[in-house]
């Protein structure tokens, strides 16, 4: 009954689900991954890759985005979709996030000639009661990295649903000189209040819109509108997943 209830919640609530054997298998798989992930965090199996952020006018690399991967001893390199949701449910995203922040700061220190930023994705569970500003401050202090070279990407829902503790945490980060980016803009609540009420430095348009660029329709109109919004608010815009000259 508990597994059926969990499945109903995962599928959007307000529905009924009947238990079947596949639910048990799914639950056991999740438990197995959760146990292995705890070991991975402890044994250093998580690795960080860096995706370049390019200025479209100059074609120069101006920043990097830190992307976590799991180098699983049996299954090879695992992408975030295979373990991040489970890490959030198991409250492992906090130690996992701390590792990524530490690695991003090391990346900056090991490249003294590099003057751009590194953006790190942050879960809403890391903000507020988990004291993200303290974790960031510790990563900067232990590595010697500069706060001015660090950016944090936070989802729309994380900004919009921020508690008083979370807002205080975000303010502390900005006061340190860290830029906050609204991630996957246009895919969540799309509330402009999340932009105007929080110290946001930039907007990141989700890849769903990138794939529709050049359609001479909704895709082009939305990207143009978001570009106009970022300019009018004196922010910078990042568009995710550009792969072709046309895009």
| Residue 162: predicted pLDDT | 67
> For 215-247, how does the pLDDT look when each residue is reduced to its tens digit (9 = 90+)?
788 878 888 888 898 898 888 899 888 888 888
> For 43-67, how does the pLDDT look when each residue is reduced to its tens digit (9 = 90+)?
999 999 999 999 989 999 999 999 9
Q: Out of 23-27, 54-58, 166-170, pick the least confident.
A: 23-27
Decide which of 151 and 206 is more confident. Answer: 151
Say how many residues make up the chain. 247
Mean pLDDT of 79-99: 87
**pTM for the complete prediction?**
0.82
- Distance, CA of 168 to CA of 79 (rounded, Å): 32
> For 111-125, how does the pLDDT look when each residue is reduced to its tens digit (9 = 90+)?
999 999 999 999 888
| Residue 13: predicted pLDDT | 79
| Residue 71: predicted pLDDT | 92
């Amino acid at each position: 009954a508990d597994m059926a209830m969990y499945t109903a919640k995962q599928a959007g609530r307000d529905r009924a689900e009947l238990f079947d054997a596949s639910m048990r298998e799914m639950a056991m798989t999740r438990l197995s991954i959760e146990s292995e992930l705890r070991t991975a965090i402890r044994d250093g199996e998580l690795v960080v890759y860096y995706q370049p952020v390019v200025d479209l006018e100059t074609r120069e690399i101006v920043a990097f985005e830190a992307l976590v991967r799991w180098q699983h001893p049996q299954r090879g390199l695992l992408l975030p979709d295979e373990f991040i949701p489970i890490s959030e449910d198991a409250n492992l995203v906090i130690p996992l996030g701390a590792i990524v922040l530490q690695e991003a700061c090391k990346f900056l220190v090991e490249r003294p000639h590099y003057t751009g930023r590194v953006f790190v994705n942050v879960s809403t569970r890391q903000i507020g009661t988990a004291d993200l500003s303290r974790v960031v401050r510790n990563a900067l202090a232990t590595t010697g990295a500069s706060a001015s070279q660090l950016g944090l990407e936070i989802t729309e829902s994380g900004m919009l649903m921020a508690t008083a503790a979370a807002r205080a945490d975000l303010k502390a980060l900005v006061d340190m000189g860290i830029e906050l980016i609204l991630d996957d803009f246009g895919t969540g609540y799309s509330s402009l209040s999340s932009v105007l009420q929080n110290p946001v430095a930039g907007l990141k348009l989700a890849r769903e819109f990138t794939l529709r660029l050049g359609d001479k329709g909704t895709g082009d109109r939305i990207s143009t509108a978001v570009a106009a919004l970022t300019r009018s608010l004196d922010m910078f815009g990042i568009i995710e997943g550009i792969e072709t000259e046309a895009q």
